[in-house]
Amino acid sequence: MGYSTLIDILGSMIIGGLMLLSIQILNENANSALSNYSSDLIAQQNLTSIVEVMDYDFSRIGYCENVDSILSPSDMIIAADSTSITFWTDLGQSLSNFRGDGIKDKLTYEFGPLVSETPNPNDRLLYRYKAGSTKEASNLGVTDFKIHYFDNMKNELPHPIDTKLIAFMQIDLKIEDCYGYDTDNPEKTYLEKFPTVYWRQLKMATKNMNR
């Protein structure tokens, strides 16, 4: 009887241990799924924030509130490369007033250097700045930023880009969460833990750039 009781106790302990282990594994999987979801959401939110500003700026290439200051289409883009572009526009006077002040602004987008302060090994700064002002950059996990340029026949323009021929632009943007869902990455090697989102847009010639 005593031997049987001992067997029962040992069996119960083994079953109980297996149940605790199963619960622990389930908790770890749930936490990992939640962290992954949160990280993916952050990447999508960062993408939305960048695209909203970028899409607005690019739609106003060549725009000026003072119609007498509007340039010819061939002069609206000043410089263009695969990772940077500078163009004339008329920036809104404030967050609540999108109308320009009638004075042309030279605006630049520029893909910057790698960021060393985050676990992600691929995120870079994306600069957006007006000539004569502080060169500001956002660190929202941009890991790729490329612009392709096309003429009015949709033929891709070769480098160096002749800005006078630009009629269309394709913008490619790739965003990854800067920290991912496992921040213990001192060697910056765990690429699978950085959720990624993509955005691509072929911008047809705007009314300001119509050639």
Determine the 3-state secondary structure of 39 from DSSP: helix
pLDDT tens figures, 126-157:
999 999 888 888 789 999 999 999 998 999 99
Q: Which of 54, 100, 53, 61 is nearest to 77 (CA)?
A: 61
The two tokens of residue 141 are 């996990």
Residue 34 is predicted with a pLDDT of 44
Domain ranges of the chain: 40-203
Q: Which of 86, 82, 204 is nearest to 151 (CA)?
A: 204
Mean pLDDT of 158-177: 93
Query: Beta strand pairing status for 196-203 and 168-176?
Result: antiparallel
Q: How far apart are CA 63 and CA 66, in angstroms?
A: 9
Give the number of other Cβ atoms within 10 Å of residue 16's Cβ.
10
- Sequence-distant (6+) residues with CB within 8 A of 61 are 76, 77, 87, 88, 89, 206, 208, 209
Residue 192 has pLDDT above 70, yes or no: no
Residue 50 is predicted with a pLDDT of 93
More confident residue, 159 or 205: 159
Contact 123, 139 (CB under 8 A): yes
Q: How far apart are CA 17 and CA 5, in angstroms?
A: 18
